[in-house]
Amino acid sequence: MKTLRAIAPLLSAIALAACGGTPTVTSNPVEAERVDRQIVSVCYQAASTTIAEIEEVARGACEKEGSGLRFWRHDRVFNNCPATKKTRASYICLPPPPKPLPPVR
């Protein structure tokens, strides 16, 4: 029983690091200030997150509903992401497509 109590914190830490949680919005890289469009950045755990999950969070952070995304950059060092989600992907928010005009009668 003593051994289990001794290794329980270690096992908990490993489990937390492995799952990493869902992607979250974070601050943008400094270089984003030079881009004339909205940039959104997302922290994620590279081993357990899909591109679709990352892009869903990024799209939700764009100011205009229905915005498209264009991948801009990716980094793992010197970002504000937590240790369990150390990878950051940054996207440019693209304007939503125009609504179709009604048919002419």
* 43-64 pLDDT per residue, tens: 999 999 999 999 999 999 999 9
Q: Is the pLDDT of residue 18 over 90?
A: no
Q: How far apart are CA 28 and CA 67, in angstroms?
A: 18
Asked whether residue 13 is domain-assigned, the answer is: no
Domain that includes residue 34, residue range: 20-94
Asked whether residue 59 is domain-assigned, the answer is: yes
Asked whether residue 37 is domain-assigned, the answer is: yes
Please give the backbone phi and psi of residue 85, each rounded to the nearest 5 degrees, phi first: -140, 65
| pLDDT digits 0-9 by tens, 81-92 | 999 999 999 999
Which pair of structure tokens corresponds to residue 58? Answer: 């990024």
Total domains in the chain come to 1
Which pair of structure tokens corresponds to residue 57? Answer: 């969070």
State the DSSP code for 78.
Answer: S
